[in-house]
Amino acid sequence: MKKIILTTAVVFAIIIGCKTNTKSADTKELNIAFESKSNSTVSGTATFVEKKGKVTFVAKLAGLKPGIHAIHIHEKSDCTAADGSSAGGHWNPTFKNHGKWGVGEYHKGDIGNFTADEKGNGTITLTTDEWCIGCGDASKDILGKGLIVHQGADDFTTQPSGNSGARVACSAIIK
């Protein structure tokens, strides 16, 4: 019977090699572009990056009226209607009341408000462990949903959608 002797350096190299190979597989990224709706001139992009069980969402928009605007994830990845209505209502897999993200009850799609500057440009960022990209969990998976930007601010109270006005941009959350 032959004995195999591994040195500490060889064992260490094997362990490091395994960790390096699995690290890149732990990150998922999805980039999408908005279409203008309701006769607006709104354009922009959104990025979802999932890493270590958390999704970071960043949307960058242009062509908005200066002021506060709401952004929500909606039920369907359908942006075919001129007014964005084909995306359905807010994504609400847990059947909660509409509200402000992280405070009391809220839909999984209730991202919130952001401000467009005097040039009509705005950005919003959110990091959460309540979403995933393609994990198959119906209460967390954002794939197959729609992302809607609204003309006005979400009041976080009016049911079921926050009284945030017309849908001025839409994007399907798909690969």
Whichever domain contains 155, its CATH number is: 2.60.40.200
pLDDT digits (tens, 9 = 90+) for 49-71: 999 999 999 999 999 999 999 99
- Is 161 domain-assigned? yes
- Is 12 domain-assigned? no
- Is 43 domain-assigned? yes
- Is 68 domain-assigned? yes
- Is 8 domain-assigned? no
Point out the residues of the chain with pLDDT beneath 50: 1-4, 6-23
Q: How many residues in the chain?
A: 175
Read off the tokens for 75. 């039920």
Alpha carbon distance, N-terminus to C-terminus of the chain: 53
Name the domain count of the chain.
1
String of b and e for 136-156 (b: at least 16 CB within 10 Å)? eeeebbbbbbbbbbbbbbbeb
Q: What is the pLDDT of residue 26?
A: 85
- Is 154 domain-assigned? yes
Q: Is 25 helix (H, G, I), strand (E, B) or coil?
A: helix
